[in-house]
Amino acid sequence: MFKINDNFLALNQSYLFSQVAQKISAYKAANPGVEIIRMGIGDVTRPLAPAVIEALHKAVDEQASTDTFCGYGPEQGHTFLTEAISANDYKARGIDISPDEIFVSDGAKSDTGNIGDILSLANRVALTDPVYPVYMDTNVMSGRITSGNVELLPCTAENSFVPALPVSNPDMIYLCYPNNPTGTTLTRSQLKEWVDYARRHGALILFDSAYEAFITDDDVPHSIYEIDGAKEVAIEFRSFSKTAGFTGLRCAYTVIPKELKGEDSTGNLVALNGLWHRRQSTKFNGASYLSQRAAQATYSEEGKAQVKSTIGYYHRNAKVLKDGLEKAGLTVYGGVNAPYIWVKTPSGIDSWSFFDTLLTQCNIACTPGVGFGKAGEGYVRLTAFGSYEDCLKAVQRLSLLKI
Ligand code: PLP
């Protein structure tokens, strides 16, 4: 009989969102007619920017003519997009990242999940806790993380959600800032400590900045490459999902600077850029032409303004929610440089109990923090991705909360 990949059996069964959905359904069945405000799942709700829609229509029309039809593109992305990314997201910020250091894909989930292909299974891993589950699960699937041989770096109110530097000398460190789920950030000097650590220890930082567009504070870096020396130690992941509402359309990119090198098993230095190029060319046939044209449109003058306005809409939601939660007597974090608000549960109750309280007293659905890791116990996550009207309604309901 053929064998399966046993590593998949070692995965923690993730019941988080299905458990949330079940609880909501059960509550609705018991309380017909009740309207639940869903603030749990981190998906965007606003429509795509008009400039993006226009680019999509044009790209569709191009497919109707043999003169403009586009089949397979370069696996690493069309140059019209990699050049726009290089110019707008990097050179405009004084960071020298060239188009051939940018790899376009269908999502940061795929990229953060697949990057392990080009890294040794012997590497030790460090992850923040709570954490976006993809980093952990994909390392378990590959067999790199087995029986808990991973260093978890707790991020709680006690350390202001700034993880302490690792103690186990990990080779791969996943950082996500602005953070999902806590909505917190690292300042430039805090991120520099990580870059300096990685340089001293020969570690690789896998920097997920899927929420970069939500940064408002000047002191928070938009890219890890704003930090001197980061090009030698960091890969950066970005996505159009939360930036421009592409969760359904799909487009993202990963930056691998040419300076970034790791050791092979005989101690020779090898550039990761070439390895990822090879990996993508072999296992990936490129993001769709349509989504790449759509992504390009986010960099036009109108596109930029429209995308910014949608981010502003979510920021306003976050502020309304944050203020409302605080008024209700709760302690909250995040929500300023991120679409996520991380709420401390009152009187030390656990995440699931507070989930139930919010559901039954306010008819608001959140995500229990413990679902993102042990250090998330005692917190819940609310998202600002819903409608403004729902946020106002949620705040009204929160005023009735008895804690
Ligand atoms: N990285 C983080 C931290 C996320 O929260 C998400 C989505 O929720 C992703 C990556 C996935 O992004 P994409 O839609 O580009 O796959």
Joined tokens for residue 179: 């953070």
Could you read off the pLDDT of 25-40 as tens digits, one per residue?
Answer: 999 999 999 999 999 9
Average model confidence (pLDDT) across the chain: 96
State the average pLDDT over residues 205-218.
Answer: 98
- Ligand 1 centroid–CA 145 distance in Å is 21
**Sorting pLDDT into bands at 50, 70 and 90, what band is 13?**
confident
Q: What is the DSSP string of 342-398?
A: EEEPGGG--HHHHHHHIIIII-EE-EEGGGG-GGGTTEEEEES-S-HHHHHHHHHHH
Question: How many helical (H) and strand (E) elements, i.e. helices and strands, does the chain have?
Answer: 12, 15
**Sorting pLDDT into bands at 50, 70 and 90, what band is 129?**
very high
Q: Is the pLDDT of residue 15 over 80?
A: no
Q: Is the pLDDT of residue 12 over 90?
A: no
Look at ligand 1, atom 5, and give the residue with the nearest C-alpha. 180
State the average pLDDT over residues 166-195.
Answer: 98
1-10, long-range: CB < 8 A, 24+ apart: 5/141, 7/140, 7/141, 7/142, 7/143, 7/146, 8/141, 10/140, 10/146, 10/147
Joined tokens for residue 185: 């950030």
- Ligand 1 centroid–CA 108 distance in Å is 5
Look at ligand 1, atom 11, and give the residue with the nearest C-alpha. 109
Q: Burial, 7: exposed, middle or buried (Cβ in 10 Å; 0-12, 13-18, 19+)? A: middle
State the average pLDDT over residues 75-99.
Answer: 98
Q: Is the pLDDT of residue 14 over 80?
A: no
- pLDDT at 266 (0 to 100): 97
- Ligand 1 centroid–CA 173 distance in Å is 17
- pLDDT at 133 (0 to 100): 93
Could you read off the pLDDT of 105-117 as tens digits, one per residue?
Answer: 999 999 999 999 9
pTM: 0.97
**Which of the residue ranges 18-27, 78-87, 216-225, 326-335 would you say has the lowest mean pLDDT?**
18-27
Could you read off the pLDDT of 140-166 as tens digits, one per residue?
Answer: 999 999 988 999 999 999 999 999 999
Q: Is the pLDDT of residue 292 over 90?
A: yes
Q: What is the DSSP string of 221-240?
A: -SSGGGSTTGGGTEEEEEEH
β-pair type (379-383, 340-344): antiparallel
Pocket residue to mutate for ligand 1, from 127, 238, 241, most atoms within 8 A of Cβ: 241
- Ligand 1 centroid–CA 111 distance in Å is 10
Distance CA 281, CA 268 (A): 23
State the average pLDDT over residues 277-300.
Answer: 98
- Ligand 1 centroid–CA 110 distance in Å is 9
* Identity of the residue numbered 279: R
Q: Is the pLDDT of residue 5 over 80?
A: yes
- pLDDT at 147 (0 to 100): 84
CB-defined site of ligand 1, < 6 Å: 42, 107-109, 112, 132, 176, 180, 208, 210, 239, 241, 247, 252
- pLDDT at 358 (0 to 100): 97
Look at ligand 1, atom 2, and give the residue with the nearest C-alpha. 210
- Ligand 1 centroid–CA 242 distance in Å is 8
175 closest CA partner among 82, 111, 237, 219: 237
| Tally of residues, the chain | 403
